Amino acid sequence: MGDWILSIAGTPQGAQLALVLALSSALFHAAFGALQKGRYHPFVIRGVIDVWLLGLSLPIALFLVPWPTAQGFLILLGAAVLHFFYKMTVALAYERAAYTVVYPVIRGTGPVVTVLAAAAIFHEHFTALQWAGVACLSGAMLLLALRNLSEEKLDGRGLRIGLVWALAGGLMVALYTVYDAWGIRLAANPFTFLAWFFVITSLDMPLIAAYHVRRFGMAGSARTLVWRGAIGAVIAWASFGGVLLATRLDKVGEAAVLRETSPVFAALIGWFILGEKVGPRRLALMGMIALGAVMVELGGR
């Protein structure tokens, strides 16, 4: 499978598969975010997800794929550091402000920085239509955050702190996207990078979650938490693994932007599954996000 991925990278077939993987990743990422909503503290639910991720990924890493080189392990350690700071900023943003406000901010600020970084590092170039698509998509997500903000009752200080962490989270999304794309491109087998990526990046949050539960206790059912963690681990493999393969197959910037259609899927999940109200304004913003993604895809042909 790894050899086949490498053989179609940079080809029209690879570009088509990258499109499917990026959009699938957006869907799974929306489900991943929705799974972390609720009574459990963000540190706790993420810690349980990572325990399951470690259990799923370690046998694959040890027995089913080639081991990384020494350089590969160093790159993976760098990825672990970046993803640790990403997970911390996101958890702190969720803790301080409403998920519906900070999630679009995190996802909306990442694409612009990612595209700029991909241009500098991978020499990718966006056309004028693609840049217009990025502006449309990111602008709609930030407008969505403002729209959701008008419906939330939040204290001013908590909101400001939450938004600062959300902006930091968006920057971390851009940093880890470009770094991970660089890492998976250096790996001889992309699935070696994926398997060991999930092993190494899953070691930190379980410790933080255990400390948090020991100090503050845990609200909610432990059994429900365990099952949420298991489902979250499978979704994480599909979401993060999908977008990483997409960046290996085609342009990093395009894959990153297409993945940020996740708020559209998040709104649909909220509407059809969680019974949340969407409304005409939010629907219009969802349409703008989708339009931006279409512009990015068409502009690159």
> Hey, where are the domains in the chain?
2-299
Write out the two tokens for 228: 């949420």
Are the C-beta atoms of 174 and 117 separated by less than 8 Å? yes
Most confident of 151-155, 192-196, 226-230: 192-196
Q: Is the pLDDT of residue 15 over 80?
A: yes
**pLDDT exceeds 80 at position 274:** no
| Mean pLDDT across 154-160 | 70
Lowest-confidence pick of 3-7, 92-96, 191-195, 217-221: 217-221
Strands, E assignment, 131-230: none
pLDDT of 51: 96
pLDDT of 33 over the 90 cut: no
Is residue 37 very low, low, confident or very high in pLDDT (cuts 50, 70, 90)? low
Q: What is the pLDDT of residue 301?
A: 65
Q: How far apart are CA 207 and CA 43, in angstroms?
A: 10
Q: Say which residue, 148 or 298, is predicted with more confidence.
A: 298
Predicted confidence (pLDDT) at residue 150 exceeds the cutoff of 90: no
pLDDT at 194 over 80: yes
Q: How many residues does the chain have?
A: 301
Kindly indicate the confidence band of residue 133, based on its pLDDT and cuts at 50, 70 and 90.
very high
Q: Is the pLDDT of residue 193 over 70?
A: yes
CA 293: distance to chain centroid?
A: 16
Give 106 or 266, the one with higher predicted confidence.
106
Of 46, 64, 5, the residue nearest 206 (C-alpha): 46
Q: Name the band, by pLDDT with cuts 50, 70 and 90, for residue 10.
A: confident
Which pLDDT value is given to residue 276? 64
d(CA 222, CA 236): 21
pLDDT over threshold 70, residue 69: yes
Structure tokens at 285: 């913003």
Per-residue confidence (pLDDT) for residue 221, from 0 to 100? 75
Range of 110-124, 190-204, 220-234 with top mean pLDDT: 190-204
41: left (phi over 0), alpha (psi -120 to 50) or beta: beta
Mean pLDDT over each residue of the chain, to the nearest integer: 86
> What was the pLDDT predicted at 230?
94
